[in-house]
């Protein structure tokens, strides 16, 4: 994959808007986006051209690896993420290969990470909406949340807050996911995979 070094990156944390969803497993993408925003030193503002909150900034040390980024949290519900993400991609002139979706992943153990380009949606409604809107050739940083216990339905599980045991390690795992996003943007896919795919 070749990307234009001068083109910006669009980093999208997937989640549901509203305080009642803020601590849900499904909102871990928003948590990672919030941490990246802290690192950039900005605060989210309503986007002019899309239903989303955005911050523009730079990631990486000064020099060739320094990248212009747009951080975004869609303002739509998860299953409608494709519309706002595509509008932002088009407005900021971001190649689809420079779009990164940060999202929860049922098929990975809690806290495990996978960085990848393209692929299926694995039943994730946010990815399904994004892929329908712009194709599958965007990057993903998949944050493991594990499978629901017992007979709990997936929809109930992802819309519950992390357990008290999980919360003890959550800040560490969110920090690691933010590191993985930065590595992907500044060092490329292979290096990020080598360092963070667990």
Catalogue the active-site residues.
Answer: 26
Q: Is the Cβ–Cβ distance between 134 and 84 less than 8 Å? A: no
Neighbours of 95 (CB within 10 A): 17
Q: What are 69's two structure tokens?
A: 């980024």
Residue 43 and residue 116: Cα distance in Å, rounded?
28
Strands 45-46 and 52-59: antiparallel
Q: For residue 69, give the 3-state DSSP assignment.
A: strand
H/E stretch holding 48 reads none
Per DSSP bridges, beta strands 67-74 and 9-13 are: parallel
**DSSP letter at 160?**
S
State how far the Cα of 11 lies from the Cα of 139, in Å rounded to an integer. Answer: 9
Tokens of 141: 């940083």
């Amino acid at each position: 994959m070749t990307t234009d070094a001068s083109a910006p990156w669009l980093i999208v944390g997937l989640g549901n808007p509203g305080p009642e969803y803020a601590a849900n497993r499904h909102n871990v993408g928003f948590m990672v986006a919030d941490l990246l925003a802290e690192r950039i030193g900005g605060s989210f503002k309503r986007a002019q051209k899309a239903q989303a909150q955005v911050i523009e900034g730079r990631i990486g040390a000064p020099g060739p690896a320094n990248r212009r980024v747009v951080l975004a949290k869609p303002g739509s519900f998860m299953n409608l993420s494709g519309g706002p993400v595509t509008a932002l991609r088009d407005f900021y002139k971001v190649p689809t290969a420079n779009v990164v979706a940060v999202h929860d992943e049922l098929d990975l153990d809690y806290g495990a990470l996978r960085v990848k380009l393209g692929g299926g949606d694995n039943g994730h409604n946010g990815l399904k909406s994004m892929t329908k809107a712009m194709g599958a050739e965007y990057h993903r940083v998949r944050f493991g949340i594990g499978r629901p216990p017992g007979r709990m339905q997936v929809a109930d599980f992802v819309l519950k807050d992390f357990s008290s045991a999980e919360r003890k390690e959550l800040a560490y795992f969110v920090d690691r996911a933010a590191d993985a996003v930065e590595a992907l943007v500044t060092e490329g896919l292979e290096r990020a995979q080598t360092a963070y795919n667990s």
